[in-house]
Amino acid sequence: MPKNYHSFREEKYSHRQAALAQEMLKTDLSAIAINPGASLTYLTGTHFHLSERPVITLFMPNSKPVFVLPELEVGKTDTLPFEAQVYTYGEEPTNWSGVFRQAILEAEIGNGKIGIESRRMRVFEFRFLEESAPQTQFTDAGGLLSNLRMYKDQDEVLAIRKAVNIAQQALADTRSVIKVGTTEREIAAELTIQLLRHGSESEFPFSPIVQSGPNSANPHATPSDRKLEWGDLLVIDWGARYDGYISDITRTFAIGGVDDQLAHIAQVVLDANCAARRAARPGISAADVDRAARDVIKASGYGEFFIHRTGHGIGMEGHEAPYIRAGNEMVLKPDMTFTIEPGVYLPGRGGVRIEDDVLISECGLESLTDLPRKLEIIAA
């Protein structure tokens, strides 16, 4: 391990916590309470799972973080690259409230405002916070945390690039099992093995989605025992995780050739993907990128069959800001990473989606994915 590894970690998390403190002061928050998830890992480097035992970390603008956690998890705080106050409890649930009250009291939050991630915070942990700070006002701080995580530093981008490479290599080594007679489930199983073999962490951003024939018209179908048939469209949506960061890619294939209408929608979606990638650059809104893709599909006569947003942010989570959708006037800026994934879905027939992972740079847009996008015919 390099001699400067610990100082690097200390600097990284201290910088992130300092940025959080500045935002808290702007919004008059006394504290932010975070339970296990991406934001807690982003700010501390620690990983906890949601379980039957509550875990909360409190961040205050002018004091060290406070952890409340079970005794069996305390070892995870031994190597923190920053100072923290740790409160632990044992297996007797009737004692847990007292530990939470002590932590809140000694954190000197008083009668201020505590921010929470409403999308992440469970009622379970929230009840302990409410009981421990009855005079405190709670407010949603999800947007504040999301905005911090939305801009990726060099190391985060490198991790996403690695996750993209792992995913692309995994698909390449899965191709041999894709043929008439293979089931969606068998393809998903092989892809899972290849993702692990090529270096993905075992906790994938999501389970691989493999959809064929009529099933491909359902954007989030679960792989089934349906066997591939000649003339099918095959949609594969998959991703890897590396050093906590994810990739999310979709490509569509034709099994032995498809009819004219299905080939046409594949070209329409390809054109929409290209239009969105051309539009995305610093200073352009997320809505403008969505519009660029949507206009192509509308002009082709398939607008009603494009039933989801054009993309979403990627990072430590598979879906995070910025969201590339109609009505989102957020201006794109350098260091944002997100997907571009237009699709057309014809119920009962089939669907096409082409999804790329992209990075906004100072001078434009870089596609982190480089697999061919054109509909590829896989010989049966």
Retrieve residue 258's tokens.
């498809």
Count other C-beta atoms under 10 Å from residue 355's C-beta.
23
pLDDT-based confidence at residue 7 (cuts at 50, 70, 90): low
pTM: 0.94
Q: Looking up tokens 């270096």, which residue turns up?
A: 199
pLDDT-based confidence at residue 1 (cuts at 50, 70, 90): very low
User: What domain range includes position 283?
Assistant: 151-378
In a shared domain, residues 168 and 144: no
Mode of pairing for the β-strands spanning 56-60 and 31-34? antiparallel
**pLDDT of 353 above 70:** yes
Q: Average pLDDT in the 287-305 region?
A: 98
Separation of alpha carbons 272 and 355, rounded Å: 11
Last residue of a domain, one of 110, 125, 149: 149
Sign, Cα dihedral of 137, 143, 146, 147: negative
Q: Average pLDDT in the 189-201 region?
A: 98
**pLDDT of 9 above 80:** no
In a shared domain, residues 63 and 190: no
In a shared domain, residues 101 and 166: no
Separation of alpha carbons 275 and 342, rounded Å: 10
CATH number of the domain bearing residue 69: 3.40.350.10
CA distances from 189 to 123, 186, 196, 216, 352 (A): 35, 5, 11, 18, 22
User: What pLDDT score does 4 carry?
Assistant: 58
Separation of alpha carbons 213 and 229, rounded Å: 8
User: What pLDDT score does 72 carry?
Assistant: 95
In a shared domain, residues 139 and 174: no
pLDDT-based confidence at residue 3 (cuts at 50, 70, 90): very low
- DSSP tag of 133: -
pLDDT in tens, 253-283: 999 989 999 999 999 999 999 999 999 999 9
Domain count, the chain: 2
Last residue of a domain, one of 106, 123, 149: 149
CATH number of the domain bearing residue 203: 3.90.230.10
